[in-house]
Amino acid sequence: MSTQMQQLYQQVILDHSRERVGDSDLLGDAVAGPHGSSHQVNPTCGDEIELETEINADGGLDVRWSGDGCSISMASASVLSELAADNNVAGMLDIEAKFHELMHSRGTLEGDEEILGDAAAFSGVSKFPARIKCALLSWVAFKDALNQAQTSLKE
């Protein structure tokens, strides 16, 4: 097995792709608090995700999603949900920015595990240009949904 394959499919990614955090029934507008949802599709492969996020009274976040896609995209959504449970809005926006930077680093950056948690395991993905979109699919949905939730919070 090539080293690149092992870097791409790290055990933590394979584990998240099977035991998915946040993969659950969506609540839609049944959510009382400020919330948003986003549907994202990767048109080249048909991978898709519907993700919703809710800002709690204490500034924490709930993330739920439903999707269909490759191990990279599904594991990424799972890792995102895990991180959202432990971070507030500002923290997640910081993580999102750092993850985005990591994915576009073409393998030159090593993810900071202190900040990125399991998402640091995706550093190997950045060497596979065709798979970067897979890793970012849920994060694009999250950013969009969070933006809506923040807008509804201000209203």
Partner 1 sequence: MFSRLRNDFPILDTRVGESALSYLDSGATSQKPQCVIDTFTEYYSQRNAAVHRGAHSLAVMATDAFEAGREAVANLVGGSPEQVVWTKNATEALNVVALGIDRASHGFGGVAAQRFGLGPGDSIVVTEMEHHANLVPWQQLAQSTGATLRWIPVTDSGELDLSDLDTIVDDTTKVFAFTHVSNVLGTINPVDTLVARARNVGALVVLDACQSVPHMPVNFVDLDVDFAAFSAHKALGPTGLGTLWGKSELLNALPPVLTGGSMITTVTMEESQFMAAPQRFEAGTQPVAEVAAFTTAVNYLAEVGLDKIFDHERELGTVLLDGVAAIPGITVLGSSENRIGTVAFDVDGVHAHDVGQYLDSQGVAVRVGHHCAQPLHRRFGVTASTRASTYLYNNAEDCRRFLTALAEVRPFFGLQ
Residues that bind partner 1 (CB under 8 A): 1-2, 4-5, 8-9, 14, 18, 44-48, 68-72, 74, 128, 131, 134
Q: How far is the CB of 130 from partner 1 (least distance, A)?
A: 8
Q: How far is the CB of 147 from partner 1 (least distance, A)?
A: 27
Residue 99 CA: distances (Å) to CA of 30, 77, 141: 30, 12, 14
Q: Is 74 helix (H, G, I), strand (E, B) or coil?
A: helix
Residue 34 CA: distances (Å) to CA of 17, 83, 141, 147: 29, 19, 16, 10
Q: How far is the CB of 25 from partner 1 (least distance, A)?
A: 20
Residue with smaller CB distance to partner 1, 106 or 151: 106
| 77: β partners | none
Token code pair at residue 63:
């993330």
Token code pair at residue 124:
């190997």
Residue with smaller CB distance to partner 1, 8 or 80: 8
Residue with smaller CB distance to partner 1, 55 or 79: 79
Q: How far is the CB of 117 from partner 1 (least distance, A)?
A: 22
Which of these, 54, 22, 50, lies nearest to 36 by C-alpha position?
Answer: 54
Residue with smaller CB distance to partner 1, 2 or 25: 2
